[in-house]
Amino acid sequence: MAKAVKMTEEGLKKLQDELESLKTKGRADIAEKIKIARGYGDLSENSEYDEAKNEQAKIEARIVEIEAMLKNAEIISDIKGAPKIVKVGAKVKVLDVELNEEFEYYIVGSTEADPVKNKISDESPVGKALIGKKTGNEAVVEAPAGEIRYKILKISK
């Protein structure tokens, strides 16, 4: 059985939109590129044709990948009230004990992770360390530079 792909409603919508775009506009655009490239003559030495076929393969692979994710999607329902423990869909404010700096992370499924926006996967080292913890608990993250200790200050939705 395939592994469940955890995602929020927002993440599901983004994937569905991307799939629709690839199936319609993406396929139409690449079909046009292939048609134009065929007009350049001998296909055995036609780099435009080869490039267009490679792009077509990438689009089709992404369509298959998205369809598989959607098939195995496990939607994380909105958290009702203030969560008591860290779980997917929660925002967590933590204190880096050593640096005395605060960070806020939004715990999401791996398909939605975006570290630039502080969205970290439940499968990442930090996400794994935080999952299941309560306010006041410490989480220890094993990093290449050594252990990082986070104190959980607040859990919200």
Amino acid 120: pLDDT:
93
Q: Which fold has domain 91-156?
A: Chitinase A; domain 3 (3.10.50)
Judged against a pLDDT cut of 90, whether residue 38 lies above it is answered with no
Contact between 149 and 137 (Cβ < 8 Å)? no
The model carries a pTM of 0.69
Average pLDDT across the chain, whole number: 89
The runs of H, that is alpha helices, within the chain are 9-21, 27-38, 47-71, 125-130
pLDDT at 93 > cutoff 90: yes
Segment 49-76 shows an average pLDDT of 92
Residue ranges, CATH 3.10.50.30, the chain: 91-156
pLDDT of residue 80: 64
Answer whether residue 78 shows pLDDT above 70: no
Residue 82 pLDDT greater than 70, yes or no: no
Q: Tokens 């599901």 — which residue? A: 12
**CATH 1.10.287.180 location in the chain:** 5-75
Considering the chain, what percentage of its residues have pLDDT values greater than 70? 95
Mean pLDDT of the region 93-118:
92
Burial class (CB in 10 A: 0-12, 13-18, 19+), 11: buried
Per-residue confidence (pLDDT) for residue 53, from 0 to 100: 92
| Rounded average pLDDT over 109-137 | 91
Is the confidence at residue 152, as pLDDT, over 60?
yes
CATH of 5-75, one of 1.25.40.80, 1.10.10.10, 1.10.1060.10, 1.10.287.180: 1.10.287.180
Quote the CA–CA distance of 56 and 43 in Å, as a whole number.
16
pLDDT at 99 over 80: yes
What is the C-alpha separation between 130 and 125, in angstroms, rounded? 9
